[in-house]
A and B are shown apart, each in its own frame.
Chain A
Amino acid sequence: MIRKIIATAAIVLLAQAYLFLNILPAVIAFLLLIYLLYICLEFNPKIEAERDLPEKLYDGVRTKARLRIKNLTRKDYIVRIKERLPEGFFSEEPEFVLGRMEERSVDYWIIPSRGVYRIKGPEIHVGDIRGILKKKFQLDSLKEVEVLPSVEKLREEAKADANIRLSRKSRLGTPVEFESFRKFQIGDDSRRIDWKASARLGELIVREFLKEWEGDVYIALDVGREMRKGKPSKLDYAISLIYQISMALKEKKLGLVLYDEFGVRKVLRATTEKEKLLMEIKFPRMRGMQSLKVARLRIEKSILRKSPVRGFSLSLLSSIPQKSFVIFITDLSTNVGELLNAILQLRDSKSIVVSPNPILFSEIKMERDEILRLYKGYVEREELIRRMNRIVPTIDVGPRDLLGEIGAFL
């Protein structure tokens, strides 16, 4: 690049000399070309190199590789080491100045991925001290390495997973203050059953605790096409879930926000007459197969974007009073970025996302060809849920999961 810029400068300066009949640019241009010629004539790197790599590596663990390199000329060079590693490997690309006749050992790290591989020698890019010319050397070594699973890494991952669960629980607040006893209802968390009271009264009794949040509960329900497909549809499941939530909330006020792929359809203010809210969810089932396509989540982009995607707006969600508890029920098939935007706007409210998993709701027969497609969709969805969880607690649910399974969050 620098060579091209200098050569272009020489041509432009010669043109300038002709145009203005000025000798100065012509001399500078001529000397620039002499300078380039000088560098070309002087650049003749000769090196000797050898790389050491352990035979046994551990998956995901930084391993030190050592390159011994010797400059056989009386010139200084800029050296850059570039490893040609199998897919899934990562490595540092060290760059340093190698002095004349200097012999040097350079350590750099490699992060391997599990398996047995034959690793070729690294590429050594040698450039002149001015960075104008470069020459590539290839080490001809071929080494077989075995990358074993790392127990340490597995332990760390297990610990991180436990931490995520713990943080999720603490973020939502675990009820601590006892309020009263009541009869067991379907969907109640079995851990809240008071066995002594149940034995005394001869029926299942559960303990009630005071909730940590004080505001109203709002349910933002996705009533889009995908939610309405199938029999029973994800919307049917969502309605039964809302019913359970409304029963569990007792005197607390419940509000409802209905939205689809085009934006917010209806906002129903929080009220104690919860049955009326359920009557508002009048959306017909849709025909057709459920899409297993997982929406792409570009968190950074969508958070930075000030205006929502054309044709889709969840801006009405901002009308939800602050300090509310908002439960989003959506299959996350579309507009995930905008949903996250809306969640982030609800700053003083607590939010969770309950997401009916389209794969668990699908009616696809478990045939040989379908399994791979299902598996692929499942993995993609797992990744989406994992990324969502970094921002907002997200629960992936199937048709058999009732309030009991997600009760820990509520």
Chain B
Amino acid sequence: MISSAASVAIAFSFGLKAPLLAPAVFLMRFIKKEIAAFSYFLYCIFLCYEFSRAELDLAAIALILSALLLLEETVSERKREVVDYILAVSALLCILEPLMIIPILLISILRFLWKDRPFFGIFAIIFGISIVYLISTKNFSAFESIFILSSVSAFLFIAIVFLSFKK
């Protein structure tokens, strides 16, 4: 819900069309979660097809955060609270001031994390943020950044398969 509002705000602020599909993806969860996940898959492809960047800027970070939040909101079964509605309205109002989208999205993600009471998962998040920070601050070329990300992703993939098998 917050992510859908934020995506709409981003779409209007940066003149994009694909983020306007975010509310539809979110609504798919009421049909079936698997369908919603598949819609999310297509949404990501459309989004990345429309929005092309060689390095991370403000708009790209806003889109990435909204996309992540959209996935969480789509698959999670948690009940929504009043704060969520307030954040959604605030995100929509960011059409007027696009810079405010990022803090709102960060607050929303932190709220979800707070509800989750993570323990070991914190390390995964810190690791993820560090890698993204690294590629955005160091002056890597687009190919180098993609190569680093895909190499780390390969290890992550193996770790996920191993952990899933174990659990």
Q: Which residues of A contact B (CB under 8 A)?
A: 1-3, 5-10, 12-14, 16-18, 20-44, 74-76, 78, 97, 100, 129-133, 135
- Of B44, B67, B124, B153, which one neighbours A41 at CB under 8 angstroms? B124
- B75 interface residue (CB < 8 Å to A): yes
User: Does B163 lie within 8 Å of A30, measured CB to CB?
Assistant: no
User: Does A133 lie within 8 Å of B156, measured CB to CB?
Assistant: no
Chain A residues with Cβ below 8 Å from B85 are none
Q: Which chain A residue shows the least CB distance to B159?
A: A37
Chain B residues with Cβ below 8 Å from A33 are 153, 156-157, 160
- B102 interface residue (CB < 8 Å to A): no
Instruction: Apart from A6-B37, A14-B146, A30-B149, list 17 A-B contacts with CB within 8 A.
Output: A2-B34, A5-B40, A10-B153, A17-B146, A22-B48, A22-B54, A23-B53, A23-B149, A24-B52, A26-B149, A27-B56, A31-B128, A37-B159, A37-B160, A38-B118, A42-B118, A97-B77
- Of A14, A38, A131, which one neighbours B77 at CB under 8 angstroms? A131
Of the listed residues B56, B121, B131, B132, the one surrounded by the most CB atoms of chain A closer than 10 A to its CB is B121
Q: Which chain A residue shows the least CB distance to B51?
A: A24
B55 CB to nearest A CB, Å: 6
User: Does A40 lie within 8 Å of B75, measured CB to CB?
Assistant: no
A397 CB to nearest B CB, Å: 51
User: Does A25 lie within 8 Å of B118, measured CB to CB?
Assistant: no
Contacts A27-B132, A40-B160, A44-B167; A12 near B34 (Cβ below 8 A): no
Chain A residues with Cβ below 8 Å from B53 are 22-24
Chain B residues with Cβ below 8 Å from A76 are 77-78
- B123 interface residue (CB < 8 Å to A): yes
CA distance A3 to B37 in the complex (A): 9
User: Does B67 lie within 8 Å of A28, measured CB to CB?
Assistant: yes
Contacts A13-B48, A17-B150, A37-B159; A132 near B132 (Cβ below 8 A): no
CA distance A44 to B163 in the complex (A): 11
Q: A-B pairs with the 7 shortest C-beta distances? A: A34-B128, A25-B48, A40-B163, A9-B41, A41-B120, A38-B121, A33-B156
- B93 interface residue (CB < 8 Å to A): no
Main secondary structure of the interface of A (DSSP, over half): helix
CA distance A25 to B40 in the complex (A): 13
User: Does A24 lie within 8 Å of B48, measured CB to CB?
Assistant: yes
Q: Which chain A residue shows the least CB distance to B52?
A: A22
User: Does A27 lie within 8 Å of B159, measured CB to CB?
Assistant: no
22 contacts between A and B (CB under 8 A): A2-B75, A12-B45, A17-B48, A18-B146, A21-B142, A23-B60, A24-B52, A26-B149, A26-B150, A28-B44, A29-B149, A30-B131, A32-B68, A34-B125, A35-B71, A38-B121, A40-B159, A40-B164, A41-B124, A42-B118, A74-B117, A133-B164
User: Does A16 lie within 8 Å of B45, measured CB to CB?
Assistant: yes
Please provide the chain B residues from 6 to 41 with a CB less than 8 Å away from any CB of chain A in the complex: 33-34, 37-38, 40-41
CA distance A27 to B156 in the complex (A): 13
A191 CB to nearest B CB, Å: 61
CA distance A17 to B150 in the complex (A): 9
A30 CB to nearest B CB, Å: 5
Chain A residues with Cβ below 8 Å from B56 are 23, 27
A318 CB to nearest B CB, Å: 43
User: Does A34 lie within 8 Å of B34, measured CB to CB?
Assistant: no
User: Does B75 lie within 8 Å of A131, measured CB to CB?
Assistant: yes
A134 CB to nearest B CB, Å: 9
B61 CB to nearest A CB, Å: 9
User: Does B48 lie within 8 Å of A16, measured CB to CB?
Assistant: yes
CA distance A212 to B127 in the complex (A): 86
A37 CB to nearest B CB, Å: 5
User: Does B128 lie within 8 Å of A30, measured CB to CB?
Assistant: yes
A72 CB to nearest B CB, Å: 14
- B63 interface residue (CB < 8 Å to A): yes
CA distance A129 to B112 in the complex (A): 12
User: Does A75 lie within 8 Å of B127, measured CB to CB?
Assistant: no
Q: Which chain A residue shows the least CB distance to B59?
A: A24
Chain B residues with Cβ below 8 Å from A97 are 77
Chain B residues with Cβ below 8 Å from A18 are 146, 150
Contacts A26-B145, A30-B152, A129-B78; A21 near B54 (Cβ below 8 A): yes
- Of B34, B121, B167, which one neighbours A1 at CB under 8 angstroms? B34
Q: Which chain B residue shows the least CB distance to A5?
A: B37
B63 CB to nearest A CB, Å: 7
User: Does B71 lie within 8 Å of A6, measured CB to CB?
Assistant: yes
- B116 interface residue (CB < 8 Å to A): yes
Chain B residues with Cβ below 8 Å from A29 are 149-150, 153
CA distance A5 to B64 in the complex (A): 18
User: Does B44 lie within 8 Å of A25, measured CB to CB?
Assistant: yes
Q: Which chain B residue shows the least CB distance to A127?
A: B77
CA distance A75 to B75 in the complex (A): 16
Chain A residues with Cβ below 8 Å from B75 are 2, 130-132
User: Does A31 lie within 8 Å of B132, measured CB to CB?
Assistant: yes
User: Does A34 lie within 8 Å of B156, measured CB to CB?
Assistant: yes
Chain A residues with Cβ below 8 Å from B121 are 37-39, 41-42
Q: Which chain B residue shows the least CB distance to A37?
A: B124
Contacts A1-B34, A14-B153, A31-B128; A41 near B143 (Cβ below 8 A): no
Chain B residues with Cβ below 8 Å from A41 are 119-121, 123-124, 163
